[in-house]
Structure 1
Amino acid sequence: MAAENPQTTQNTVLVAVFAALIAALGLVPPITVGIIPVPITLQTLGVMLVGALLGPVRGMLSVVVLEVLVLAGLPLLAGGRGGLGVFLGPTGGYLLGWIPAALVIGFLVQHWALRQTRPAARFAAALLSTAVGGIGVIYALGVPWTAVVAGLPLSTSLLGSLVFVPGDLLKAGVATAVALNVHRSYRRLLGGVPAAAR
């Protein structure tokens, strides 16, 4: 029998561990803002982290694993939510947006931010990468989805989503700082970080 590839094993473990991290952040109770039927949760921080730390493929797979488990009925989302209903409800677009968000964040951080030579430029690029994926991509799916499912005008859904922006920018900053520090210490996490990131 052929020996198992250590790299494959490592990738599988990382995907599972970071899927569990996003699930663990769901233990923090959600905050309901009342403008739109979508709560503020800490799990978007986890999505930003997995993309920035693991890269596009493994980051995206971590989110996919979590969402498959949620779809199967496990109460892994903030507030103990799970099942098909959460994807069909007002929050469904935001949840589905986590998948391409991790992909975009991972790609931009790996192929752009970590290649910057100056620390300030590297941080700015990583922060922008995380914000583009973790805010722009998620909102692009979440806002219209909420409008359709909840029967709200698109403008109301968009206005309601603005409540999330300050907190999401803070999450992007935290994810950026954590990711850059981890990449400095573990340069092979993305299969070898360019010299500029060291």
Structure 2
Amino acid sequence: MAMTETPTTDTPPASRRSPATDVALIAAFAALIAACAVVGGIPVGGAGVDITLQTFGVLLAGCVLGPVRGFLSVSLYLGLGAVGLPVFAGHTGGLAPFTGASAGYLISFPFAAALAGLIVYLGGPLKTRAAYVFIGAAAGTVLNHLCGVVGMKIYFDVSWHTAFVYDAPFWVGDVVKSLFVAVVAAEVHRAFPRLLGRR
């Protein structure tokens, strides 16, 4: 009696991600954030914190990669800066930025990326992804600013009102950056609909 063999394939399911791909994406977005950070900052207000594209890269990492890989990507970026690489705003590195006026913003970055990524991951179908990306980016922005206010209050030893005043000038730029994140990340997900590994 002749027996037929069932064809087999070693191709992984489309929804399964390769660990090597994950590592490459995490490293690539860490490099992207570094590039965004070293673009010339714009001094705003009296708190000594510049406006850069740094938060654009942080939120984009979360919204494109999802909560876990976004968190890891931003954490890798902070780790590179902590060991002395000049990847922070103003071409700085080391531990000093983690104790300065911008410490609250920096420390919040991985958590802002994770929050934004979680909202996108749990969001609706692909055709409405842009709306969820904007909501995620906006939520990450709010978390980033709240932590920044706490950091400036501690660093400058000022009232909450003064700390919020220091923070206020950054909102317009970050809202615009959130809109750009929504546009870019939504297009990425349209091109790579299984990037988050759930659809």
Query: TM-score normalized by structure 2?
Result: 0.87
Q: CA deviation at 1:75?
A: 0.7
2:195 maps to 1:184: no
Equivalents in 1 of 2:125, 2:195: separation in Å? 17
Higher fraction of helix: 1
- Counting only pairs closer than 5 Å after superposition, residues 15-94 of structure 1 correspond to structure 2 as 15-94=26-105
After superposition, the Cα gap between the structure-2 partners of 1:190 and 1:101, relative to the gap in structure 1 and judged at 3 Å, is same
Label 1:70 to 1:118 Cα distance change in 2 as closer, same or farther (>3 A). Answer: closer
Cα drift, residue 117 of structure 1: 6.9
What SS class does the counterpart of residue 32 from structure 1 fall into?
strand
2-side partners of 1:27 and 1:56: how far apart? 24
Q: Report the secondary structure of 1:39's partner residue.
A: strand
- Code of the residue aligned with 2:133 in structure 1: it is A
Q: CA deviation at 1:34?
A: 3.1
Equivalent residue letter for 1:49? L
Offset at residue 110 of structure 1 (A): 1.0
Q: Give the structure with higher Rg (CA).
A: 2
Q: CA RMSD in A?
A: 1.6
Change (3 A) 1:8 1:118: closer
Name stretches of at least 5 consecutive residues in structure 2 with no aligned partner: 1-15
Question: C-alpha distance in 1, partners of 2:197/2:64?
Answer: 11
User: After the TM superposition, which of the residue ranges 43-52 and 124-133 deviates more from structure 2?
Assistant: 124-133
Partner amino acid, structure 2, of 1:160: Y
1:159 aligns with 2:170: no
Identical aligned residues as a percent: 38
**Which residue number in structure 2 is paired with residue 129 of structure 1?**
136
1:116 CA drift (Å): 4.3
Alignment check: 8 A CA contact 2:126 2:190 kept? no
In structure 1, stretches of 5+ residues that fail to align are 194-198
1:173 matches 2:179:
yes
Please give the alpha-carbon distance, in whole angstroms, between the structure 2 residues aligned to 1:46 and 1:163. Answer: 19
Q: CA deviation at 1:192?
A: 3.9
Displacement of 1:155 after TM fit?
A: 0.8
User: 1:101 is matched with which residue?
Assistant: 112
| 1:196 corresponds to | none
Query: Alignment length, in residue pairs?
Result: 184
Q: Is 2:155 the partner of 1:149?
A: yes
Give the C-alpha shift of residue 118 in structure 1: 5.5
The Cα shift of 1:6 comes to: 7.1
Letter of the 1:53 counterpart: V
TM-superposed deviation, 1:140: 1.6
Looking at structure 2, the residues matched to 46 and 126 of structure 1 have their Cα atoms a distance apart, in angstroms, of 14
